[in-house]
Structures are given as C-alpha cells and as structure tokens.
Amino acid sequence: MRQLQELISFLETQPDPQIVMDADYRIVAANAAYRRHYGQGEVVGKTCYAVSHGYDKPCDQCGESCPLAASRASGEPARVLHLHHTPHGEEHVDVLLTPVRDARGRITHFVERMQVVREASSLPAQRGLVGKSPAFNRMLELIRRVAPSNTTALLLGESGTGKELVAQAIHEHSPRRDGPFVVVECSGLTETLFESELFGYEKGAFTGANQRKIGLVEAAAGGTLFLDEVGDIPLSLQVKLLRLLETGTFRRVGGVETLRADFRLVAATHRELKAMVERGAFRTDLYYRLSVFPIGLPPLRERREDILLLAETLAARLAPERKPTLSAGFRERLLAHDFPGNVRELRNIMERALLMADGDTLLPEHLPPEVGAQPPAPVVEEIVPLATAELRYLQWALAHHDGDRKSLARKLGISERTLYRKLAG
C-alpha cells in the first residue's frame, strides 16, 4: 500500500497523462497531467476500457489489442496505438503499459502512460495525415516507432496512398525535424542527371557548368533525404546509390574532394521491389540496404472508414474560404467507389466537385458519372450460409456508416457487444 502511495505521488508530477490500474482494469489513480488533459470527471474506480473506449468489456474482447492483457501475459511493458474517446473527440493515443511488481515479484498494478499522437489526426485537420481506420492506425504505429530513430524507412504503397506525406511525418517527428526535408524524384532520371542532381557538380565539370552547384544529398545535410519512386532507378545507377549508402560519402561531378553525407533516408516505391530483385531488375544488396524498416501504406479501398473523413478534410483544405458540406447522396456515392487512384483520386474528385458546386453543398451531380454510380450490393447474389451473409452485411454496414460503432449498433437494433461478437465471426 505504501509502495502504491509512493508510486502515485511520483506520477503526480510527471508531464504525460498517466493512470494506475489494478489487474482487473480498474483505475486506482490518475495523475495531474491526465486530469488536465482529459478532465472528464472522476475516473478512479472505473475501468480503463469504459473510460477510454466506452466499452463494457476489455478491448481485446472488442476487436482491439489490449496492452494490459498483453503485459499481464508477458510480464513485459506493452505499447499500442489506440483511438481514445476524449472530451476533445476521438484522439490517437500512444499507450505504454508497464507492470508494477511487489517485493515478491508479483504484478500488482499497471501504469498506463498516454502520449498524444501528433503525426496524424482522427479529425479533419488543416495539414498532415488524417485517418482513423484500423489499417491506417497500424501504419501510424510503425511511423511512430521509426520516426525518432535514424533508421532507413521504406514506404511501400500504391500511387496516391500518401507516401510523400508519410515521409514528411517521419521527418517532422525525428530529431532532424529542424533540418531540411529534401525530395528526390527518382523516376525519369538519366545517368548524367542522376549524378549531377544528387551529388552536384564543380564549375567546368561539363559544358554549361558555369559555377559550382551543390546536389540534393548535400542540401539534405542535417535533415532527411526522401527518395521517391526508388524502384524506378535503372540498374546502372543503383550501384551509385548503393555506394553512397555504404560509404556515407560522395563526390561532386568533376570534383576530387570526398564529401561526407549527413542525412536520414526515407525511400518509397509503388513497385514490388522484392519481385524486382527476383527478376534481376533491382540489386539485392541495395534492396537490403533500403528495406530495414518497411512500412506498407494501405490503399484507400482497404481503409474505407477513412473515405468521408478524408473527403471532408480535403474539401476544407481545398476551399478554406468556403464551408463545404457533403450531402448524403454525395457521401453514398463516394463510399461506393473503389478509388484505384487512392487519396490522390479522392483529392481530384473533391477539387472538381468544389468547382462544379455553385453553393457550398456538394451533391451527387457534382461527381464524375463513374464515381460510385453502381453501389455494390452488400450481399452478393449467391446462396451462402446465413451467418456468412450476416457477416458480409455487417462489414458493409461498418464501411458505410459514418459514425462510431455504438451508433451503428443502435441503428442495427443490437447492442454494441453483439455487434463486436458478430463481427469477430
């Protein structure tokens, strides 16, 4: 008991919101930072899943990962990224759970530290990454883990999935955030261009080189170098990149001086690099240099819960002086579309709709005809077991429902618990 009191008094002055829980998920104390940030009345005596999620049972029984269950099982700290209900709305929170042991080594309590995630927003925001779907959250967790290090990150995703935005988020949350963020567009670079763009050149290196020019590698000193479409670099040039990465040095074209590079590398491609390696189209050694920490960016069709959030965000970004609203029919059509061009396609659709609309309400007729014209049936026309049909319908309803699971359950006329159970299959 004394030990618990000491722990609580220590946590009181810590800068991050922290709570102490017993092994039954019940909150026994919340520190000043927690009360300041979340200020949602007394939480002591309530369970963490009720306070942070509005659930009536632990997260892992509601389709989410539960750090307390993980920590209790392993005896180790556990870290996850969750979406918490807060007085400010739904917020991404990085949760670290640490077990506390008594003198005999038995776990008696858990301390949960919460850090607000600034790499992305679950509400429309003026800039940066926006999303709240499970697939987006899994990606965000990886971004949070790699950003503070100097490790090379490799972003893998279809065109328009937000690779450049993710690279920027990694840079902005790294120790190099005050340094430059330099983008190298690798596709279409010829041999001579590649070298002079990347490494710069000395005066007189070639006709037209009237003065020394520093390259992008040098410009990125102290910051992050983002190699976009790294899979498009021809084999003949890959060796030059490899040399730079292996030695950490380079020479300007026409120069003799060996210069030391000082950048953190983030690379991206929409290509299947692994398959390219197998085909002999991409160097194996370069592949292993690049794929230290791969991050998969989900296509928009695999994060449908984010479509309307992104649409609202992009509309507000594209027309800050207007207050665009999305009519029900417009939303419906967006939700029925597959977005082969991902977020970039959605952005183009929104830009067009804003031009087509005379008022501030976006209507279905402001969409190109091919967008969501044929809403897919929630249940395909084949005979399937009732339980399968029900599951498909619920998944469809989840993707098309603009709100949380609680309000969906209400609309469906079932309890939230039943909804989770049925979705778990």
Ligand X SMILES: Nc1ncnc2c1ncn2[C@@H]1O[C@H](COP(=O)(O)OP(=O)(O)OP(=O)(O)O)[C@@H](O)[C@H]1O
| Residue 96: strand pairing partners | 79, 113
Select from 62-70, 175-183, 340-348, 373-381 the region that touches ligand X (CB under 6 A). Answer: 340-348
The CA distance from 155 to 158, in Å, is 10
* CB closer to ligand X out of 221 and 316: 316
- Asked if 249 and 204 count as a contact pair (C-beta separation under 8 A), the reply is no
* CB closer to ligand X out of 93 and 310: 310
* CB closer to ligand X out of 165 and 398: 165
- Asked if 53 and 62 count as a contact pair (C-beta separation under 8 A), the reply is yes
Quote the least distance from Cβ 277 to ligand X, whole Å. Answer: 20
Q: Calculate the CA 402 to chain-centre distance.
A: 20
Quote the least distance from Cβ 306 to ligand X, whole Å. Answer: 7
- Asked if 295 and 154 count as a contact pair (C-beta separation under 8 A), the reply is yes
* CB closer to ligand X out of 143 and 419: 143
First to last CA, the chain: 43
User: CA-CA distances (angstroms) from residue 104 to 71, 72, 75, 88, 274?
Assistant: 18, 16, 14, 41, 50
Q: Is 81 helix (H, G, I), strand (E, B) or coil?
A: strand
Q: Which two tokens stand for residue 64?
A: 């989410």
Out of 130, 198, 220, 237, name the contact with ligand X by CB under 6 A. Answer: 130
* Beta-strand pair 107-116/89-101: antiparallel
Quote the least distance from Cβ 163 to ligand X, whole Å. Answer: 3
Quote the least distance from Cβ 344 to ligand X, whole Å. Answer: 4
Quote the least distance from Cβ 141 to ligand X, whole Å. Answer: 14
Quote the least distance from Cβ 157 to ligand X, whole Å. Answer: 6
* CB closer to ligand X out of 128 and 179: 128
The CA distance from 9 to 73, in Å, is 27
One-letter identity of residue 98: T
Q: Is 113 helix (H, G, I), strand (E, B) or coil?
A: strand
What would the x/- binding string for ligand X be over residues 190 to 229, using CB under 6 A? --------------------------------------x-
Residue whose C-beta lies closest to ligand X: 162
372 makes contact with ligand X (CB under 6 A): no
Select from 46-54, 58-66, 233-241, 339-347 the region that touches ligand X (CB under 6 A). Answer: 339-347
Quote the least distance from Cβ 230 to ligand X, whole Å. Answer: 11
Q: Is 114 helix (H, G, I), strand (E, B) or coil?
A: strand
Of residues 343-362, which lie at the interface with ligand X (CB under 6 A)? 343-344, 347
- Asked if 265 and 225 count as a contact pair (C-beta separation under 8 A), the reply is yes
Out of 129, 169, 230, 353, name the contact with ligand X by CB under 6 A. Answer: 129
The CA distance from 139 to 299, in Å, is 11
* CB closer to ligand X out of 231 and 364: 231
DSSP string covering 239-293, please?
A: HHHHHHHHHSEE--BT----EE--EEEEEEESS-HHHHHHHTSS-HHHHHHHTTE
Cβ partners under 8 Å of residue 219, min gap 6 = 180, 182
* CB closer to ligand X out of 99 and 131: 131
Total residues at interface with ligand X (CB under 6 A): 18
Quote the least distance from Cβ 370 to ligand X, whole Å. Answer: 20
Quote the least distance from Cβ 55 to ligand X, whole Å. Answer: 26
Q: What is the DSSP letter of 375?
A: P
Quote the least distance from Cβ 32 to ligand X, whole Å. Answer: 33
What would the x/- binding string for ligand X be over residues 150 to 169, using CB under 6 A? -------x-xxxxxxx----
Of residues 252-311, which lie at the interface with ligand X (CB under 6 A)? 270, 310
Question: Which residues in this chain contact ligand X in the complex, by CB under 6 A?
Answer: 129-131, 157, 159-165, 228, 270, 310, 313, 343-344, 347
